[in-house]
Amino acid sequence: MTAYLTNLASLGAIFCILAATLNVAVGYAGIFSVAHAVFFGLGAYAGAQVSLLLVPDALLAMLAAALVSGVLSLCLALPALRVRGEYFVAASLGLQMMAVTLFSEAKTVTGGIGGLTGIPGPRLFGVEVSTLPVALGALAVILLATALLMRSSFGRTLQAIRDAESAAEALGKNVAAAKALAVAFACAGAGVAGALFAMHMQFVNVESFTLDQSVLIMAMVIIGGTGTLWGPLVGAVILLSLPAGLAFLPFIPSTEVGAVQQVIYGLAMTLLMIFRPAGLVGDLSRGKSHA
C-alpha cells in the first residue's frame, strides 16, 4: 500500500511539473500548445539514454533532458512566432502527430514501439534515492522559478503579449524573444519531467507521448485554471486521482474503466468551458473577459 501511494505521489509530482510548465505557455504567454507530450518524450528519451550510456545520475539526466527539450522547443517557437490562435493549435497538432511517428520509427534512439527498458533508477552523487523527493524538489524549483519569473519584467511582458500583442510590440517589447523564451522554459520543464518519468518507470515507450497525453496535460491546466500558480497542480491531482477513484467503484466493469474515465474528463472539459471558463482556481471575473 505504501509502495502504491509512493508511486502515485511520484507520478503526481511529475504530472504537476508538466501541468505547471504547460501553464507558462498557455496561461501566461497565450501559446496554446497541444504538443507538450512531445517535449515530455524528448526529455524522457534523453534522460534514459544518459542514464543507460553515461552515469545514472538524476541531476545530469534532468539537465540533459532540459537541454534537449529546450533546444528542440524551437520547432514549437517557430510557428508560435508566425501565427496564433487556431493556426498555432493546428501547427502544434501537426508537430505532435509527426513526433509520434518519429518516436516509433527512430528505433536506435527510442527503441521504437518496444521502448527502452532497464533504465537505472535515480541516483544522486552515486547514492540510490527514490523518485519522490527528487521529483518534489524539481517541482518546487520550477514553481519558484515560475512565480519569480512571472512577477519579473519578463513575466509582465509575456502577459502583456497574451492580452494585446500589437500593443506590447508598439511599446517596444521584444515579442519574438519573449515568446521563444517562454516556450523554451515550458519545454525544458517538460523535459525534466520526462527524465524523472523515465527513471521512475525504468521503462519508456512512445505510448506515453501521444496526443492523448498532451490533451490530458492540457485538460489538467484548463480544469485547474490557466494563468494561476496553483490551478494546474489542482487539475493534475484531480485528473490523476480519477482513475484510482473509479477503480474502487464496484458497478463499473473493469474493462470499461478507461472509457468511463475519458468520458468524465471530456464532459468535465466541455461543461467547465460552458459554465466556468477560467477553471476551478481561476478568477471568474477575469475568465469572463478573455479566458
Partner 1 sequence: MLFLQLLLQGLQVGALYALTAAGFALIFGATRIFHFAHGSAFTLAGYTFLFTSQAGWPWYLGGLASVGVATLFGIGIYWFVYRPIQRHEGSFFTVFVAAFGVGIVVQNLVGMFAGRGFASVDTPLSRATEVLPDVYLAQVFWVAIGLSLVLFLLLTLFLTRHHAGVALRALHQNPDLLRAYGLSSTKLSLLAFAVGSALVAPAAMLTAMTSGLNEAIGHHVMLISMAATIVGGVGSLRGAALAGLMLGVAEAVALSFVDTQWAEAVSFLVLFAFIIFRPSGIFGIAQAR
Q: Which residues would be at the binding site for partner 1 (CB under 8 A)?
A: 26, 32, 78-79, 82-87, 89-91, 93-95, 97-98, 101-102, 104-105, 211, 215, 218-219, 222, 256, 259-260, 262-263, 265-271, 273-274, 277, 288-291
Question: Cβ closer to partner 1: 105 or 128?
Answer: 105
d(CA 66, CA 40): 10
Place of cell 507521448: 209
Q: How far is the CB of 216 from partner 1 (least distance, A)?
A: 10
Place of cell 516556450: 183
Q: How far is the CB of 69 from partner 1 (least distance, A)?
A: 19
Q: How far is the CB of 217 from partner 1 (least distance, A)?
A: 13
d(CA 183, CA 77): 6
Question: Cβ closer to partner 1: 118 or 250?
Answer: 250
Q: How far is the CB of 182 from partner 1 (least distance, A)?
A: 16
Residue 128, all three cell numbers: 540510490
Helix 36-53, helix 211-224: angle, nearest 10: 120
Question: Cβ closer to partner 1: 199 or 216?
Answer: 216
d(CA 200, CA 7): 9
Residue 192, all three cell numbers: 525534466
Q: How far is the CB of 256 from partner 1 (least distance, A)?
A: 6
d(CA 17, CA 135): 8
Question: Cβ closer to partner 1: 86 or 250?
Answer: 86
Name residue 108's amino acid: T
Residue 122, all three cell numbers: 535515480
Question: Cβ closer to partner 1: 56 or 282?
Answer: 282
